[in-house]
A and B are shown apart, each in its own frame.
Chain A
């Protein structure tokens, strides 16, 4: 996890808020560093993490995780991490026997209406184990990324319903957190993606938006991060809730600075 980002968000693994949905979105840049941050953050917070990883392979996340101080293989073996490797299990849909519906069952169906099997996979992964001692603090669902589901043929409303049900179960019922990555297509006219992005935005408590610089690529400033807090429980809680920082990604950390204050130009 990136300590500087924790400072900006005013949070640490041991005193993070619960029951919150965080939306990560990226426009004209790669926002996956935020996914790696939250994955390591919640593993360090001793949470039970269900990671629906549709974009990269397990080893990719593991390699980056090791740089950030977490070992995904160990976490999976301990039962702390439930990892759905989309790239691998998509193939299993075709070669597995049909006893129980596969989470990615919609890949087989011509007119898949909904993502109920995927939701049930998540619910099963995060449901509290009764009888055992509480090993983990609270459950966390991480999805990288939701736009892949649109590319695979699901409608925006079906994906929004999946998020809705996950929110009802993970955030409300189990008092856990959700972190979802959605790409912002930007100028490319993608109505379904816009509906998805706006729909999840309205359900989110915190939106982290990584944008490329308007002036193009820069060696010392990789992009800009906008932080927007929404849905405070008290309506008047600091209305001025949007912050913007620029950042530079290094090998094992990300440094943040105010706009125009990159160490390279000072």
Chain B
């Protein structure tokens, strides 16, 4: 059975009632499927899930979910007319941030997950500071004094398209998230690099290979799946490249012994030291015969006489 212990933002660590996670994707490794898988997980845990949908239509987002999941999803549609160009009264007042605040002011005490699809859209249309303040307010809403209604925990999931923003805004949003998932992969197998930040603890990171099943359940894997790696053909026997050579690559036993016992010429051993220090026994056994010809000048005087050797 597939393991499902991906850090679940709904089960934020004790001590803080809310958790937030951001998923960073790229053009090649899209993140909406993962977002939908996490939304499904939250819905199956019994939470109500609010989706601020700015990038895809409600039908497209709900596609693939069965009815018991869809009943738990509330889709706030900012896809059809986000900038109110149609000038009708249908536009949701206050825009996406207004909707965000309205969700948090709800009276229902149950836990709630908010999925932002996408953070990139919000970041392109709102000042970064406004967005960060709104997100911060969402995750710390229980700390406002004077609020008597017991509000359940709020978890926030945000999808961010990393290539669209500079490092400043991305860093600011990352600092608000407890868990950051960066999508990548190789050769058809997707991976998630998960960075968890907990207060008063060191951040932990891990890389998890995964795939998403057609019903948007998450299937965690140990590594890139074997089928995606090229497999060698078992029917071809390995070929020995040393056959049919014109030279000998092998040594016989005697040759090997002779080679091992050979002293290298520049290797300094104690025998060599003794041989050098011992005076030479007897004269040199080689002679030089010299026949001077007519033009030679034989000087009997030794040119080295003046050297004091």
| Residue from the list B55, B82, B188, B190 in contact with A203, Cβ < 8 A | B55
A174 to chain B minimum Cβ distance, whole angstroms, is 13
Measured between beta carbons, the chain B residues less than 8 angstroms from A207 are 27
On whether the beta carbons of A198 and B216 are closer than 8 Å, the reply is: no
Task: Indicate whether A199 sits within 8 Å of B79 (C-beta atoms), given known contacts A234-B64, A235-B216.
Answer: no
The answer to whether B214 touches A236, judged by C-beta atoms less than 8 angstroms apart, is: yes
Bound Cα distance A228, B59 (Å): 24
Given A235-B213, A236-B211, the answer on whether A168 and B30 have CB atoms closer than 8 Å is: no
Q: List CB contacts (< 8 Å) of B222-268 with chain A.
A: none
Task: Report whether B28 and A228 are in contact in the complex, using a CB–CB cutoff of 8 Å.
Answer: yes
State whether the Cβ of A36 lies closer than 8 Å to any Cβ in chain B: no
Query: Of the candidates B36, B161, B213, which one forms a contact with A236 in the assembled complex, judged by CB atoms under 8 Å apart?
Result: B213
Nearest-CB distance from B247 to chain A (Å)? 36
Complex CA distance for A117 and B217, rounded to whole angstroms: 43
Q: CB distance B30 to A230 under 8 Å?
A: yes
Q: Is A258 an interface residue (CB 8 A)?
A: no
Which of A116, A168, A228 interacts with B57 by CB under 8 Å? A168
Which residues from B are CB-within-8-Å of A242? Answer: 28
- Does B212 lie at the interface of the complex (its beta carbon under 8 Å from any beta carbon of A)? yes
CB interface residues, A 153-202, toward B, < 8 Å: 157, 160-161, 164-165, 168, 172, 194-195, 198-199, 201-202
Closest chain A residue to B228, Cβ basis: A240
Instruction: Tell me the minimal C-beta distance from A165 to chain B in angstroms.
Output: 6
Nearest B residue (CB) for A240: B188
Is A198's CB under 8 angstroms from B163's CB? yes
CB pair A201 B27 closer than 8 Å: yes
**Complex: A228 Cα to B124 Cα, angstroms:** 25
Chain A: minimal CB distance from B168 (Å): 13
Describe A's contact surface by its main secondary structure.
helix
A195-B164, A202-B161, A239-B189 known; A233+B64 contact, CB < 8 A: yes
Known: A114-B83, A195-B164. A172 touches B212 (CB 8 A): no
Min C-beta distance of B224 to chain A, whole Å: 11
**At the interface, yes or no: A58 with Cβ under 8 Å from chain B?**
no
The 0/1 profile, CB within 8 Å of B marked 1, for residues 84-105 of chain A is: 0000000000000000000000
Does chain B have a CB within 8 A of A231?
yes
Q: Of the candidates A160, A194, A233, which one forms a contact with B124 in the assembled complex, judged by CB atoms under 8 Å apart?
A: A160
- Min CB distance, B76 to chain A, in Å? 15
| Interface size bracket, A side | 20 to 34
Asked if B187 CB lies within 8 Å of chain A CBs, one says yes
CB of B205 within 8 A of chain A?
Answer: no
A2 within 8 Å of B (CB atoms)? no
- List of B residues within 8 angstroms of A231 by Cβ: 30, 32
Contact partners of A164 in chain B: CB under 8 A: 82
Name B166's closest neighbour in chain A (CB-CB): A191
Tell me, yes or no, whether B207 is within 8 Å of chain A by CB.
no
User: What sequence of 0s and 1s flags, for each residue 180-200 of chain B, a beta carbon within 8 Å of any chain A beta carbon?
Assistant: 000000011110000000000
Per-residue contact bits, chain A 215-259, to B (CB 8 Å; 1 contact, 0 not): 000000000000010110111100110100000000000000000
Of residues 73 to 102 in B, which have CB atoms within 8 Å of A's CB atoms?
79-83, 85
- Are A202 and B27 closer than 8 Å at their CB atoms? yes
Residue in contact with B188 in the complex, picked from A114, A119, A165, A239, CB distance below 8 Å: A239
**Given the known A-B contacts A157-B124, A157-B125, are A202 and B214 also in contact in the complex, defined by CB atoms under 8 Å?**
no
- For B48-80 the 0/1 string (1 means CB < 8 A from A) is 000000010101100110000000000000011
The chain A residues found within 8 Å of chain B, CB to CB, are: 114, 116, 119, 157, 160-161, 164-165, 168, 172, 194-195, 198-199, 201-203, 207, 228, 230-231, 233-236, 239-240, 242
Show the binding face of B for A, using Cβ within 8 Å: 27-28, 30, 32-33, 36, 55, 57, 59-60, 63-64, 79-83, 85, 120, 124-125, 161, 163-164, 187-190, 211-214, 216
Other 9 A-B pairs with CB < 8 A, given A172-B80, A195-B124: A168-B81, A172-B57, A172-B59, A198-B27, A231-B30, A235-B212, A235-B213, A235-B216, A236-B211
